[in-house]
Amino acid sequence: MDYKRNISLDFSILYRCMHKYYDLALNDLDISAAQVNFLTIISEEEGLSLVKLANICSFDKGTVTKGVQKLEEKGYLTQQNNLIDKRVKGLYLTSKAKSILARLFLVKQNWWEYLSKDIDINDIKHYLKIQEQLVNKAKNYLDMENLVNDIKFFGLQKTTLLDYPHKLAATIFTGGCNFCCPFCHNSDLVFLPEGMKELSENDILNFLESRKGLLDGICISGGEPLLHKGLKDFIIKVKELGLLVKLDTNGYNYNYLKELIELKLVDYVALDVKNSKDKYAATCGLKDLDLSNIDKSISLLKENLVDYEFRTTIVKEFHDISSINNIKIWLKGAKRYCLQAFRKSDNCINKSLNSPTIDELNEYKKILETDIKEVIIRGL
Ligand code: SF4
């Protein structure tokens, strides 16, 4: 698989390479890159408190305390009562630290010179401005509790007659998935490249409001919608608009699925059954997978508390008569099962996979019909 550039990876590379360079440049001093930052920051404001140092570097207090202790042990720092406010202990450089300060600044400067060489000065200024904004946002990471409780939308198909059986619907795509199915044709929704445009919940609700009376419902697809804690609150708002809700899920988050069904927040569930149990993990692009939750989700839907379908995307390389027979045993008694023919596309995670033939699909249908009431083929 080709690795796409992304911000997390880029920052991680910059961080690690800088550490290696500092280790090399300062190996006789036994000072790490983080400790260089501590010393240079303190040099600009001698007597600053441990808490302030932690805030500036965005470390927790424990980590800064350990770093400061190490620098004290090496003889570079002392903690003394602050000269202005005697109740507070301040951090001060020792004469040993002051004697190497010029070298530390030079090492920092050299690294920056090396990185920025041959880059246009205006580009650098622009980059630094953006970086400052990113850092300020990152420092407010405590707000992330809202972020992780949120729901992320990355696509809206305004009208479809295909996604919600017998209904006119809009389909909304959430981002992120806990599986990595090689045949997945929504790879961007799985890997979420950073430049991907996010849609706000408000924009989607406003759109749905504008189609009130025209649409029967919405289909929430992904990615994996049940990864988002904010899904429930979003569905409640959709229900207030009088719309039906269909949920597409891989069934891994059994508890959340059960909660939504029990609260009658979903009207139709399409649950992916990726393959027979012995081939399940590989079909999801994983080494191992605990199937107990998926098993429970399947049993839950079979209770008929909500309208549903099981469905499998049939891929030549993953499915054969033996896997279909095993799926049939697993789903025995189910009311509806859909065989979806895999179709090659540029958005697939693995572009070398192949579609089944029509004959194969018809043969699988016949096998399944002995134990499942309604078997549908889609995507021919
Ligand atoms: S096919 Fe569905 S479950 Fe599999 S990776 Fe794609 S979004 Fe996730």
Looking at ligand 1, which atom is closest to the CA of residue 284? 4
Supply the pLDDT for residue 84.
Answer: 63
Task: Give the residue whose CA is nearest to atom 2 of ligand 1.
Answer: 223
Ligand 1 atom nearest to CA at 223: 7
Rounded to the nearest angstrom, the distance between the alpha carbon of 270 and the centre of ligand 1 is 13
What separation in Å is there between the alpha carbon of 184 and the centre of ligand 1?
5
Ligand 1 geometric centre to CA of 367 (Å)? 26
Q: Do 112 and 159 sit in the same domain of this protein?
A: no
Domain shared by 104 and 167, yes or no: no
pLDDT in tens, 230-279: 999 999 999 999 999 999 999 999 999 999 999 999 999 999 999 999 99
- Where does the pLDDT of residue 87 fall: very low under 50, low under 70, confident under 90, or very high at 90 and above? low
Per-residue model confidence (pLDDT) at position 142: 59
51 C-alpha to ligand 1 centroid (Å):
44
For residues 332-355, give the mean pLDDT: 94
Q: Is residue 86 part of a domain?
A: yes
User: 233 and 287: one domain?
Assistant: yes
Ligand 1 center–CA 142 separation, angstroms: 30
At residue 193, the pLDDT reads 78
Is 322 inside any structural domain? yes
The ligand 1 atom at the shortest distance from the C-alpha of residue 248 is 2
- Please tell me the distance between residue 109's alpha carbon and the centre of ligand 1 in angstroms: 46
CATH number of the domain bearing residue 313? 3.20.20.70
Q: Is residue 134 included in any domain, yes or no?
A: no
Question: What percent of the chain shows pLDDT beyond 90?
Answer: 70
| Final residue before a domain boundary, out of 118, 142, 176 | 118
Q: What is the pLDDT, as a whole number, of residue 373?
A: 93
pLDDT bucket at 59, cuts 50 / 70 / 90: confident
With CA atoms as reference, report the closest residue to 84 among 72, 92, 75. 92
Ligand 1 pocket by C-beta < 6 Å: which residues?
Answer: 177, 179-181, 184, 186, 190, 222-224, 250
Ligand 1 centroid, distance to 274 Cα (angstroms): 9
318 plus 207 within the same structural domain: yes
User: What is the average pLDDT value for the chain, to the nearest integer?
Assistant: 91
Q: What is the pTM of this model?
A: 0.71
Please say which residue of 99, 118, 137 terminates a domain.
118
Residues 206 and 95 in one domain: no
Residues 88 and 206 in one domain: no
Band (22; pLDDT cuts 50, 70, 90): very high
Comparing 87 with 72, the larger pLDDT belongs to 72
The residue to mutate among 181, 272, 318, having the most atoms of ligand 1 within 8 angstroms of its beta carbon, is 181
- State mean pLDDT over 96-100: 93
Q: Which atom of ligand 1 is nearest to the CA of 186?
A: 6
Number of compact structural domains in the chain: 2
In terms of residue numbers, what domain contains 27?
Answer: 3-118
Considering the domain architecture, whether residues 157 and 114 belong to the same structural domain is answered as: no
- From its phi and psi, is residue 223 left (phi > 0), alpha (psi between -120 and 50) or beta? left
Residue 127 is assigned to a structural domain of this protein: no
Task: Between 142 and 97, name the one with better pLDDT.
Answer: 97
Tell me if 135 is assigned to some domain.
Answer: no
Which of 100, 118, 136 is a domain's end point?
A: 118
pLDDT band at 20 (very low <50, low <70, confident <90, very high): very high
194-217 per-position pLDDT tens digit:
778 889 999 999 999 999 999 999
Check residue 1 and give its pLDDT: 47
Choice from 1, 189, 224, 318 to test ligand 1 binding pocket (greatest atom count within 8 A of CB): 224
Residue nearest to atom 7 of ligand 1 (CA): 223
Tokens, residue 125: 């200024």
Whichever domain contains 38, its CATH number is: 1.10.10.10
Residue-wise pLDDT tens digits, 138-186: 877 655 555 555 788 999 999 999 999 999 999 999 998 999 999 999 9
Q: Which atom of ligand 1 is nearest to the CA of 222?
A: 7
Is 148 domain-assigned? Answer: no
| Together in a domain, 256 and 312 | yes
Residue 111 scores a pLDDT above 90: yes
349 and 257 within one domain:
yes
Closest residue by Cα to atom 4, ligand 1, is 181
Ligand 1 mean position, distance from CA 11 (Å): 28
How many angstroms separate the CA atoms of 375 and 365, rounded? 6
Atom of ligand 1 nearest to the CA of 183: 1
Check whether 367 has a pLDDT greater than 90. Answer: yes
State yes or no: pLDDT of 76 exceeds 90. yes
Most ligand 1 atoms within 8 A of CB, residue of 171, 173, 179 to mutate: 179
pLDDT, tens digit, 9 for 90 and up, residues 276-335: 999 999 999 998 999 999 999 999 999 999 999 999 999 999 999 999 999 999 999 999
Same-domain status, 172 and 298: yes
Residues 161 and 63 in one domain: no
Would residue 13 count as lying in a domain?
yes
Contacts (Cβ under 8 Å, ≥6 apart) of 317:
353, 354
Q: What angle, 0 to 180 degrees and rounded to 10, lies between the N-to-C axes of helices 50-57 and 61-73? A: 110
Cα(233)–Cα(253) distance, integer angstroms = 17
Distance 180 CA to ligand 1 centre (A): 6
**CB count, 10 Å around CB of 18?**
16
Q: Report how far ligand 1's centroid is from the alpha carbon of 173 (Å).
A: 12
Rounded to the nearest 10°, the torsion over CA 66, 71, 73, 79 is -80
Q: State the distance from the centre of ligand 1 to the C-alpha of 220, rounded, in angstroms.
A: 13
- Residue 108 sits in the same domain as residue 208: no
Asked if residue 250 is part of any domain, the answer here is yes
